[in-house]
Amino acid sequence: MMSRTVTAETSGTWRLGDLTVRRIGFGALRLTGSAAFHEGVPGDRGRSIDVLRRAVELGVNHIDTAAFYFSRLRSANELINSALAPYADDLVIATKVGPARDASGAWATSARPDQLRGQVEENLRQLGRDHLGVVNLRIMSQEDIGEHFGALAELRTAGLVRHLGISNARPEHLAQARAIAPVVCVQNRYGLDAPDGEAMLRACGERGIAFAPYFSIAGAGRESGAVGAEHGQVLAVARAHGVSAAQVRLAWILAQGGHVLAIPGTGNPAHLDDNVAAGGLRLTEDDLRLLDSVAGR
């Protein structure tokens, strides 16, 4: 394995508007249990807090979360607040709004445009902040996101939100959003097992917009985490560098462009160190060609 002393600085940086973040970040979803939300069994609360503090110690300054990241016993936002407040000046916390869950964890209908302010304020309360660094509109089934994104743009003007992004988006959504307000990032599913995100990856790169893919390690397992046997190509590259398959997957993601931000999540301290260390893994041209074959290139 790579040295446990490798920090997020080795991954380089990108700017979300006027905010500089390191390209290896942290996704908070798994702190609540499994990625299946209320169906998950959360780990030890103290260990989750230790993971968050360790991430910051390793130089991570971009954390992805949401008020709807909660299980029966854990809230990602509450854990972040408990572990990291008062927050470092350079820490960027990105949240998502749009989906709605009731207190039992069941999914309700997607929020109406006039309900988005309440969701933003919920994130502010839980995180203990007076404004949010980045808020991403998580698109559900809308064809036209103009009203929803317009409502968030009003909150940006009011000072509750600093920058805006979109998630689970198609190129036409990006065009709609950019006609209303600046878009600093797009969060979409993308990875070796999900090459269908290529169009958005390229669109963001052409426009200088950050692309933050999710499920980059889980691949086809999505919310359930990594499942099944790993691809032989990934294992071959991992053996050649003496690293884990997860590190190879993250390094491949980062190699797709300087605008790509990785936001892997874990509740395991050892996995956290490995994920952050992936920012220092430099894949060769031969490695990339071999891995590209997994993505069908």
State how far the Cα of 170 lies from the Cα of 175, in Å rounded to an integer.
9
DSSP 75: B
What is each CA distance from 218 to 122, 226, 255, in whole angstroms?
Answer: 29, 4, 18
Torsion of Cα atoms, 113 then 124 then 139 then 41, to 10°? -130
- Cα of first residue to Cα of last residue in the chain, in angstroms, is 28
Read off the tokens for 296.
């069908």
Q: Which residues are catalytic?
A: 69
Number of alpha helices (DSSP H) and beta strands (DSSP E) in the chain: 10, 9
Q: Name the residue type at position 133.
A: G
State how far the Cα of 167 lies from the Cα of 85, in Å rounded to an integer.
26
State the DSSP string of 259-294: TB-B----S-HHHHHHHHHGGG----HHHHHHHHHH
